[in-house]
Structure 1
Amino acid sequence: MTSGDWVNETLYAEWGQRFLVKRELARVKSEFQDILVFESHGHGRVMMLDGVVQITEADEFVYQEMLAHVPLLAHGAARRVLIIGAGDGGVLKRVLQHRTVEHATMVEIDGEVIRLAKEHLPGIGGDAWTDPRARVIVGDGIDHVRQAEPGSYDVVIVDSTDPIGVGEVLFTDEFYANCARLLTDRGLVVNQCGVPFMQADELRETSQRRAKAFPDVFAYVAAVPTYVGGFMTLGWAAKDADCRRVPVEEIRRRADVAGVLETTRYWTPEVHHAAFELPPYISMHLPRG
């Protein structure tokens, strides 16, 4: 692939997006997936896994901020955080921006994703890789949640591919049951659930599975330009429904204490609160009750 070539995303068979390539940076076939990293003209550097855009330098902040800050500030006292996937380091960086977090464990199955992100997308993870509060494990997230001690984490953040291929096992009944077991009494888990305008089945089916293990199941939204098709949904499963109903001013106070108010480009206390106000075409796919 050379300058001037186009890269077509292959997520949907009949619709999609493409990028004009400035230069190819890496093309690797790992044990788990095909990884492509290239520099684009409009979105900075881009990482694709199996032909699907995972992250671009231009808009990664939207997804990463909403995936990390919303659960941590909704919980309000999260000290121990488990991140499954997220090998680019962006979620880890945002979690560690919370000075109230004492330990953050990241489990990524594909070490090549971490290696290539450090080499070609260094700004996304930043200093998170060397933060003493971080533990980065190249391994199977499923095994980690099976073996984790009960009550060993306050928040679980799942940043995976869609429920096909290597990411499929992160959307099962067993996985969510184990998440519930390893979480503390007010613990919660969030995970990406796709773009519901195009992937409604993903939101509906994963919500039904989460509802078997958690009393409060919902979703919230973020507008990520390169996740084409409208709002991206982030699945929410909590032991305490009050975590979803924290007033804006309390979220602001918690963000100030955590030290993240001045770090964000998308997340605000108001955006946090509004993200749970879902249009009917999305909320119709959530469990009733």
Structure 2
Amino acid sequence: MAHAKTWHEKLYNHFGQYFIIQEILYKKKTEYHEVIIFKNSRFGKIMVIDGIVQTTEHDEFIYHEMLTHVPIFSHGLVKNVLIIGGGDGGILREVCRHKDIKNITMVEIDHTIINLCQKYFPNHSYNAYQDLRLKLIIDDGLNFIRETKETFDLIISDSTDPINYGKNLFSLEFYWNCKRCLNKNGLFVAQNGVFFLQKDETILTYKHLKNIFYDTQFYQAAIPTYYGGIMMFAWGTDNIKLRKKNIQDIQLSINNTKLNFNYYNAKIHISSFYLPQYIINELNKN
């Protein structure tokens, strides 16, 4: 009996997760990234960029709902949104579900990723790229945020890990420029890795954001694809009231939109800001 072909993630030197490959759908180097897309019986289609799992067909909804709806419902009056990264279209899909949002700007460095995901992961974007509110810009995220004169109510950084081109989106310069581009009561959120395995990344982000925002915090979700514990989402704003909304206010906002979710709900929203003590201890040291 032939051995099944496996793929091994290379995010960590000391160990990593394996996936059994049913079929390789795409394997090529783009202008910026080495990309592999393959099928797995449990996770469906999986996209790998530069040796690291980026998204999967079957559990993407957790990540995309949490990185989108927690800040939108916390803010309550989002009209202008900037998405940096997010070429798979999942964040864009969730943002587009909010009909009160007027303008959506998305900046992605690699147009090939967008094309690949529309072909192999059509449900990620779910036709969101055709939304008339969208302005799509192909550019490096740091370059865009450094040069733009536009301002936003919400900035979502859906970057790769801080490796290669992703490093720019974890820099102090990037965070400062995001703050500069926020309207009054504006909110910045970003993926920040799995704390148990990427502690230094989270602590560095925490130090940077504490120098910039009045209210710096993290919230979390458990996402099977990003194994090793809970995934962290960075949060920065000058209006601490956005994080202090009670469950009744969040539920009322959800009810008013008439949206349904697969992971996110009002209780998850509130509880996601309660972190395990080992994380609190590390953050308090800094």
Q: TM-score, normalised by structure 2?
A: 0.96
How far apart, in 2, do the equivalents of 1:83 and 1:266 lie? 21
CA contact (8 A) 1:218 1:286 kept: no
Give, in angstroms, the shift of residue 113 of structure 1. 0.9
How far apart, in 1, do the equivalents of 2:119 and 2:280 lie? 40
Q: Secondary structure at the match of 1:209?
A: helix
Runs of 4+ in structure 1 off by over 6 angstroms are none
CA contact (8 A) 1:208 1:286 kept: no
Give, in angstroms, the shift of residue 232 of structure 1. 0.2
Residue of structure 2 equivalent to 1:156: 155
Gap change, CA 1:288 and 1:216, over 3 Å in 2:
farther
Give, in angstroms, the shift of residue 35 of structure 1. 0.6
Give, in angstroms, the shift of residue 218 of structure 1. 0.5
Pairing 1:175–2:165 present = no
Percent of aligned positions that are identical: 38
Q: Secondary structure at the match of 1:236?
A: strand
Amino acid at match of 2:271: A
Residue of structure 2 equivalent to 1:197: 196
Segment drifting more, 264-273 vs 171-180:
171-180
Give, in angstroms, the shift of residue 180 of structure 1. 0.8
What whole-Å deviation, never above 9, does each CA across 1:138-162 have from its counterpart, x for those lacking one? 1111122122226x20000001111
Residue of structure 2 equivalent to 1:127: 127
Give, in angstroms, the shift of residue 283 of structure 1. 1.9
Q: Secondary structure at the match of 1:225?
A: coil
CA contact (8 A) 1:217 1:287 kept: no
Pairing 1:56–2:56 present = yes
Residue of structure 2 equivalent to 1:270: 267
What whole-Å deviation, never above 9, does each CA across 1:154-190 have from its counterpart, x for those lacking one? 0000011111211101111111111111101100111
How far apart, in 1, do the equivalents of 2:30 and 2:63 lie? 25
Amino acid at match of 1:18: Y
Q: TM-score, normalised by structure 1?
A: 0.95
How far apart, in 1, do the equivalents of 2:21 and 2:284 lie? 42
Q: Secondary structure at the match of 2:160?
A: coil
How far apart, in 1, do the equivalents of 2:88 and 2:232 lie? 20
How far apart, in 1, do the equivalents of 2:253 and 2:79 lie? 13
RMSD: 1.6
Unaligned runs of 5+ in 1: none
Residue of structure 2 equivalent to 1:80: 80
